[in-house]
Amino acid sequence: MLPNQSGVPRRSGLARDSYFLLSMRPLHVLAFVFPVVVLYELGSLGVFGPVEDSLEAHQMLVRFFDLFGVVGLHLPAVALVLMLLIQHVLSKDSARFSWSVWLKMIAESAFLTGPLIVLVMILKPIGGGEMVIQATDIAVNAEPSRVSQAMLALGAGLYEEMLFRLVLITMIHFLVSDVLGFSETRGFLVGLVLSSIAFAWYHDQVFMLDGSINVRMAVFYFMAGMYFGILFLMRGLGIAVGVHLFYDLLVLVIIPSFEGR
C-alpha cells in the first residue's frame, strides 16, 4: 500500500478532517492533479498551439504500459485517474470535496517550492548559470515557444512524479520490503535513494559533451529527486506534483518572460 495515497493511517493529534490528512486522500489528490492532466493532454494534442517536443517521462510510462500489452498514448493519464478513483472507493472515504483543501494545497505547493530555489542558489553556477530543473532530456535546436515550455512544465510536474515517485519508489519498496523481507522503513529509504539516482541520470544536463559528469548538475538533480521523494512519502502525490509543477513553471515560463522584456 502506498504511503499517504490510500489507507492513510491516522496520526496522533490529527483529526480525520484535518487539512494535513485530507490533502493526502485520493479524492483531493485527484481533484488537485486532474486539471493538470486535462491541460497537458489537451496541450499535447496541439489545442493551445504547436508543441515542438514530447516529454520523455510520459513516453517512458507509455512504454511501461506497453510491457503489459496495453497500448495508448493517453494511457498514463487514464491509469492515474482510475487508480485514484479506485483508491477513493476502496478507502470508503466521504465523497464530500472541500475547495478550501484544494486552495490550501496550491498555497502549500507554492510555499514548498522555496527549498528548491535555495538549493539552486547554493549550487550556482549550474551548467553555465541556468536555474532550471529541466523537465525532460530533449535537445532543443531553437528557442521553444511559451506554449511548449508551459506544456513541458505541466507534463514534468505530473508524469515525472508519476514515473519516479509513484511507480519507481513503490516498485522498489515492494521488492525490498515485500519480496526480500526488509522493514517498511528500509524499503522506502532504498526506494527514495535509488529513485533519486535514476531521476538525476534521466536528465541530459548531468552529462557533458565529452561524456564526463557535471557534478553540480548531478548533485542538484539528485537532491531535487530526494526532496520530491520526501514530499511524496510525507505529503502525498498531490503536493509532490504541485511543487514540481510550480518550480518548472517558475524557471521555464515566468522567469524567461520577465527576462525577455
Q: What is the DSSP string of 235-259?
A: HHHHHHHHHHHHHHHIIIIIHHHHH
The Cα 155–Cα 40 span in angstroms is 6
More confident residue, 104 or 213: 104
CB neighbours (10 Å) of residue 231?
A: 24
- Phi, psi (deg, nearest 5) at residue 213: -100, 130
Cell numbers 530526494: residue: 226
In this prediction, residue 134 has a pLDDT band, given cuts at 50, 70 and 90, of very low
- pLDDT of the residue at 70: 58
Of 180, 182, 158, residue with least CA distance to 232: 158
More confident residue, 205 or 117: 117
Any domain includes 9: no
How many domains would you assign to the chain? 1
Q: Residue type for 148, please?
A: S
Any domain includes 99: yes
Any domain includes 189: yes
Cell output for 140:
532543443
Give the contacts of 45 (CB within 8 A, at least 6 positions apart). none
pTM summary value: 0.86
Any domain includes 3: no
User: Taken in order 89, 93, 94, 96, is the CA torsion positive or negative?
Assistant: negative
Provide the b/e sequence for 59-73 (b: ≥16 CB within 10 Å): ebbbeeeeeeeeeee
User: Coil, helix or strand for 207?
Assistant: strand
Any domain includes 1: no
Q: Are 156 and 137 in contact (CB under 8 A)?
A: no
* Helix or strand run (H / E) with residue 91: helix 75-91
Any domain includes 134: yes
In this prediction, residue 142 has a pLDDT band, given cuts at 50, 70 and 90, of very low
Highest mean pLDDT among 41-45, 126-130, 193-197: 193-197
More confident residue, 142 or 223: 223
- pLDDT of the residue at 65: 66
Give the structural domain span for 67: 19-259
Q: Are 155 and 245 in contact (CB under 8 A)?
A: no
The Cα 179–Cα 92 span in angstroms is 28
Share of the chain above pLDDT 70, in %: 79
Any domain includes 40: yes
Any domain includes 11: no
Q: Residue type for 106, please?
A: I
pLDDT digits (tens, 9 = 90+) for 50-103: 666 667 787 787 777 666 565 567 788 888 999 999 999 998 888 889 999 999
- pLDDT of the residue at 182: 94
